[in-house]
Structure 1
């Protein structure tokens, strides 16, 4: 029973922190804000997270898992690896529709956090994991230069999220997806299908 209560408390804290950090940034949110939004006491929060940095790192670790799952789910709507490399951009549109145009939580955290912070380390881990997955897909697609293609697509993802926050427009995702399609086309030997509804390549 105690374990369940602990899990519920942690979930409430992290869910509240996620919304606040994403919308207002790490520096714009204090521990008191998270306490108020989560409905837990400050002592309960500090029982689970000794410092704000620990809370930020836990938030980013959870977001890393969730965001990769969203990218992979969008990619899996297409059958072939080379089609999946473009279909994954649909996750960005879905994220904007659900959460608004607040950019990439990892880019935001990386910019705000100190160079030696746990938050920046969590951001670097996320980028590494995401790019490794993109590299795996690029290799499965028989790209002529999979490392280059994976890096290119990673930059398109980050750029679309950052620019989306600036412009508050979904059109940046459409542009990023179009650029991804062109990059995949240039790197893969097979012709790429253009679906009528433009959900995949």
Structure 2
């Protein structure tokens, strides 16, 4: 007698998040209404409010899910590298893979916060993501021996942001390659012996 294969049941909350992820990213959080989400998720409107309370809470959960997914993807690729330099540059390899995807439409956090109220949950979720990205760059820059890890992190974060914008608006995934090359040049300059020595002298004076 053949064994029966049981497909795990997907919770209503997960179905709502999956629908939100697909529709919000493809069409925008301000364009897609609650009715579209619940129709695609196959749930009642009350179920959405019972799980998230409001559309803003749902958008926040969608962004948090994107944050987790992005962090996992970048971390996996970074941890495969052998040297601190390659670990830092792997961040740009990771976003390059995202740029190559057919459905790529730019940074979800930029799109979501474009018309979001200041100080709200959407802005909060975006700020948390950006804080994580900056901390990642600072940590990797420190491991690579940068004289000023935080300063280099801010420069790398600008490249990270700019690459995503260019890849989307110009429809050019190679933006990640250009950003990686620029990041390599910045890293090499920031870790040059004369730069490190000058920074140590400046710190001693201060």
Which TM-score applies when normalising by structure 2?
0.84
Give the SS at the match of 1:88. helix
- Note the C-alpha offset of 1:131: 0.8
- After the TM superposition, which residues 139-158 of structure 1 pair with which residues of structure 2 at under 5 Å, given as runs? 139-158=142-161
1:39-58, Cα deviation, whole Å (9 max, x unpaired)? 22212111101110000111
Note if 1:75 corresponds to 2:78. Answer: yes
Give the number of the structure with larger relative contact order, counting CA–CA contacts within 8 Å between residues 6 or more apart: 1
- Note the C-alpha offset of 1:99: 5.2
- Note the C-alpha offset of 1:109: 1.6
Unaligned stretches of 5+ residues in structure 1: 191-201
Which TM-score applies when normalising by structure 1?
0.86
CA separation in 2, counterparts of 1:27 and 1:72?
30
CA separation in 2, counterparts of 1:176 and 1:111?
24
CA separation in 2, counterparts of 1:37 and 1:106?
22
Alignment match, 1:135: 138
Structure number with larger C-alpha Rg: 2
Alignment match, 1:41: 44
- After the TM superposition, which residues 47-66 of structure 1 pair with which residues of structure 2 at under 5 Å, given as runs? 47-66=50-69
Alignment match, 1:193: none
Structure 1: which 4+ aligned runs deviate by more than 6 Å?
A: none
- Note the C-alpha offset of 1:129: 1.3
More deviation, 64-73/120-129: 64-73
Choose from 121, 133, 137 the match for 1:118. Answer: 121
More deviation, 118-127/39-48: 39-48
8 Å contact from structure 1 (residues 143, 149) kept in 2: yes
Give the SS at the match of 2:32. coil
Q: How many residue pairs align between the two structures?
A: 186
1:125-175, Cα deviation, whole Å (9 max, x unpaired)? 110111112111111111011111111111111111112111111121111
Unaligned stretches of 5+ residues in structure 2: 1-7, 194-206
- Note the C-alpha offset of 1:77: 2.6
CA separation in 2, counterparts of 1:91 and 1:112?
28
